[in-house]
A = this chain, B = another copy of it.
Amino acid sequence: MKNENLSVVVGAGLAGSAAARVLAESGIRVVVIEKLSHVAGHCHDMKNEEGITVHTYGPHIFHTNNREVWQFVNRFADFNYYQHRVLSYADGRMIPFPINRDTIAEVFGLTLSTNEVRTFLSEEVARSQFSNPPRNFRDAVVSQVGERLYELFFKNYTIKQWERDPELLSPEIARRIPVRENRDSRYFTDKYQGIPSEGYTRMIERMLDHPNIEVRLSTDYFDIVEELGASMTVYTGPLDRYFGYEYGELEYRSLELEFRTFDQEFYQPVATVNYPNDYDWTRITEFKHFLGEMSKRTTVCFEYPKSSGEPYYIVMSDDNLEKREKYMKNVAELEATGKVLFIGRLAEYKYYNMDQVIAESLSKTQQWLQAK
C-alpha cells in the first residue's frame, strides 16, 4: 500500500539531505535511509581529541558562485570565510599552485609582471614537443604550459593519482587546467567560499532537523525497500547497485587516508600541500587551518590514491562511460514516472563539487514538486 504523502530519501549525504529538506518544507513526510552510522556522507567531519575538526573522508572546502546555494547552506551553518590555498612541493620548495604569475616567478627566479605571463608561457609551449591537437593528457597540459611546468607539477602527480601513464589518459581530463595570468594564488576563485564553523556534520544535522524528516541510520535501503511503501524515492546511492549491476560494475578511484597527529603547533604553512614528485602521497592536508583552531599539537592527513575501496572519483574510461550511458537510460525511464529521482555523485556517476550537488538536488526536487 502506497503512502501518498511519504517520500523516501536514500542516503543522508549532501544530495539526500538537501532533497529531504526541500520535500519536508513543502509538507511531505520524508524518511531518510542511511547505510552508514552517521549522516553527512563524504562531508562527514568531527572534532578529534586535539580539538581539531577533521574531515573523515579527506579535505572538503565549500566554494560556489551560485547565490541560491550559498543562501541555502547559510540557513544551516555559520561559515568561516576561509579561502583555500595550496602549495605544491616541487624542486624542494613550496610553490603557489595553481600556476599563476607568482608560481612562474618562484620556479624560474624571474621578476616578470603579469603582462609577461602569456608571453612566457607561449615561449615555454613553443620550445616543447607535443601533438596538436592533443592526443593525450600530456599533450593537453604541455600545449598550455610547456614541458617544464608539466614535468614539475603535472606528470608525476597524475601518475600517482591515476596509476597510469599520462600519455595513455584522455586529453579531456586536462581540457581546462587553471592557469592564471594574474597573481591570484587561491585554489578556487568562486565568489563565495568557506567552511561551516561548526563543521559539515552539524550543518547536515540542522538540514535534517525538521518535524517532517525521520532519519534511519545503519540501514540498507535494499533490505527494506518493500516495506516502506513510499510514493516517491530520492536515490543518492551507487547507480550500478540500484539496477543490480545489470550492465556491470562502475569503476571508482579510491583513497587511503592516513591521519597523523604531531607534537608540534603547525606541520605546514597552508592547509594543503601537494607532493607531485616526492613520496607516494599526493597531498597532505593540515586541518587546523580551515577553522583557525588553536592547539599545541596538529593533525594532518596523507592521501594515497588506490584503485579500490570507498568510491571517490569516477573513472572516465570508455568502458565506464558506456556503462553509465546504459544505466542512465534506465534512470531516464524511471524518472519519467515521477516516482524516483537519481541525485548526486554516486547516483549519477558524475564528478560533482559540493555546491553542484546541492544545486542539482534543489532543482530536481523543486521541479518534481511543481510537476506533482
Answer yes or no: A192 CB below 8 A from chain B CBs.
yes
Per-position binary interface string of chain A over residues 258-272, scored 1 when its CB falls under 8 Å from any chain B CB and 0 otherwise: 000000100000000
**If A92-B185, A93-B183 touch, does A107 touch B114 (CB 8 Å cutoff)?**
yes
Given contacts A92-B186, A279-B192, contact A112 B114 (CB under 8 A): no
Residues on B with beta carbons closer than 8 Å to the beta carbon of A111? 109, 111
* A109 / chain B contacts, CB cutoff of 8 Å: 101-102, 105, 111-114, 183
Residue with the highest number of chain B CB atoms closer than 10 Å, among A183, A192, A193: A183
Instruction: For residue A71, give the distance in angstroms from its CB to the closest CB of chain B.
Output: 9
Within 8 A of B (CB), among A69-85: 81, 83, 85
User: Would you call A184 and B115 a contact (CB within 8 A)?
Assistant: no
Does A236 make an interface contact (CB < 8 A)? no
A86-111, CB under 8 A of B: which get 1 and which 0?
A: 00000111000000011001111111
With both beta carbons as reference points, the residue of chain B lying nearest to A292 in the complex is identified as B264
| Interface range, A side | 35 or more
Q: Which residues of B contact A107 (CB under 8 A)?
A: 114, 182-183
A192: which of B85, B102, B278 is its contact (CB, 8 Å)? B278
> Is A191 positioned at the interface, with any CB of B under 8 Å from its CB?
yes
CA distance A186 to B278 in the complex (A): 12
User: Which residue of chain B lies nearest to A114 when distances are taken between CB atoms in the complex?
Assistant: B108
Chain B CB within 10 Å, residue with most, of A93, A101, A106, A193: A93
A182 with B112: CB separation less than 8 A: no
User: Quick one: which of A286-326 are within 8 Å of B by CB?
Assistant: 292
**A93 CB to nearest B CB, Å:** 7
Q: Find residues 133-188 in chain A having any chain B CB closer than 8 Å to their own CB.
A: 182-186
For A277, what are the chain B residues with a Cβ–Cβ distance below 8 Å? 191
- A170 shortest CB reach to chain B, Å: 27
Given the contacts A191-B279, A193-B278, A264-B292, A182 and B91 also touching, CB distance less than 8 Å: yes
**Residue A26 at the chain B interface, CB threshold 8 Å:** no
Complex interface residues of chain A between 9 and 30 (CB less than 8 A to chain B): none
Q: Does A189 lie at the interface of the complex (its beta carbon under 8 Å from any beta carbon of B)?
A: yes
Residue among A81, A83, A111, A189 with most chain B CB within 10 A: A81
Residues of B within 8 A of A91 (CB): 182-184
Residues of B within 8 A of A102 (CB): 109
* Complex contacts, A101 vs chain B, CB 8 Å: 109
Which residues of A pack against B, CB within 8 Å?
67, 81, 83, 85, 91-93, 101-102, 105-115, 182-186, 189, 191-193, 264, 277-280, 292
Give 17 A-B contacts (CB < 8 Å), ordered by A residue.
A83-B278, A85-B92, A91-B182, A92-B184, A92-B185, A93-B184, A105-B109, A107-B114, A108-B113, A108-B114, A109-B111, A109-B112, A109-B114, A110-B113, A191-B279, A192-B278, A192-B279
10 additional A-B pairs beyond A91-B184, A108-B113, beta carbons within 8 Å, are: A83-B92, A92-B184, A93-B183, A106-B183, A108-B115, A109-B113, A109-B183, A110-B113, A191-B277, A193-B278
Nearest 9 A/B pairs, CB to CB: A92-B186, A91-B184, A92-B184, A108-B114, A110-B113, A109-B113, A101-B109, A108-B113, A91-B182
